[in-house]
Structure 1
């Protein structure tokens, strides 16, 4: 598995990975209405492309296929963090998180933090993150529960 920086031509594949993962994996912890609000079919390619370019976005690639992606912001915030629905529990998330943490340390960041889904909470806890609080967020008028979590790294 190779971890590399995002390239412009990755956008469509990342959008599909995001949609498929939310609809096939996160559906275990959220309702259909919630996953459709979170990952709608009519995603805007231009907005996604701009979002992916606006942060330090890394992709996990295996045999030429994107199997995960994650984003780090200069303040230590982890934005998107998704592993392909067919590659769950195979070390993709661990490698992506290690990459983000290494990059954060190079930048002098001492704390990583994220808003983590119910589905991803166990993974982040296993990697040393602590729950700060549960919160309710809104996507397209639909309420979802997630968790603010953080980890000191420096």
Structure 2
């Protein structure tokens, strides 16, 4: 596999606006293949401020993937993905920018999360993966525990509870 030109770093509060936009746009553009418009709107409302992203990401171990060659007009790094790890080993949000799908961003982010989990002594990871994300997490070694319906802002969404045991080298 060729060298991936992207970088991963820890979340900083200034990242919150880009994360909110990335979350919304990725769901509406990528997850639209598996969910209807009403489900997408419930999951990622057009009001990007439905969630306090700075507090949410700051309360978890959050990594962001950046493109180190952003548009010179941008004052900040271009965020092309983000993933959250809770102290329990649960992976919260995990999204790659819709324009950077299938370019290794998800794998790079996942490797950072898994490394952090192992460093913290966690023995397993869990995630509620969307229909769209289930194949990615399966490639990362996760096993399906169960399909489940989650109620979100008036809509039912099918998700997949998945689990991975971590081995220490």
Matched residue of 1:78: which SS? strand
TM-score, structure 1 as length reference: 0.97
Question: Match for residue 39 of structure 1?
Answer: 44
Higher Cα radius of gyration = 2
Give the C-alpha shift of residue 43 in structure 1: 3.0
Indicate if the aligned counterparts of 2:28 and 2:40 stay in contact, CA closer than 8 A. yes
Please list, as runs of the form range in 1=range in 2, the aligned pairs for 1:45-56 lying within 5 A after superposition.
47-56=52-61
- Aligned residue among 89, 95, 102 for 1:76: 89
- What are the ranges of 5 or more consecutive residues in structure 2 without an aligned counterpart? 1-5, 70-76
Indicate if the aligned counterparts of 1:56 and 1:73 stay in contact, CA closer than 8 A. yes
- Aligned residue among 77, 97, 101 for 2:110: 97
Matched residue of 1:44: which SS? helix
Matched residue of 2:46: which SS? coil
TM-score, structure 2 as length reference: 0.89
After the TM superposition, which segments of 4 or more aligned residues of structure 1 sit over 4 Å from their partners? none
Q: Structure 1 residues 53 and 91 mapped into 2: Cα distance closer, same or farther (>3 Å)?
A: same
Indicate if the aligned counterparts of 1:12 and 1:45 stay in contact, CA closer than 8 A. no
Give the C-alpha shift of residue 41 in structure 1: 0.8
Count of aligned pairs between the two proteins: 154
Indicate if the aligned counterparts of 1:13 and 1:66 stay in contact, CA closer than 8 A. yes
Q: CA RMSD in A?
A: 1.0
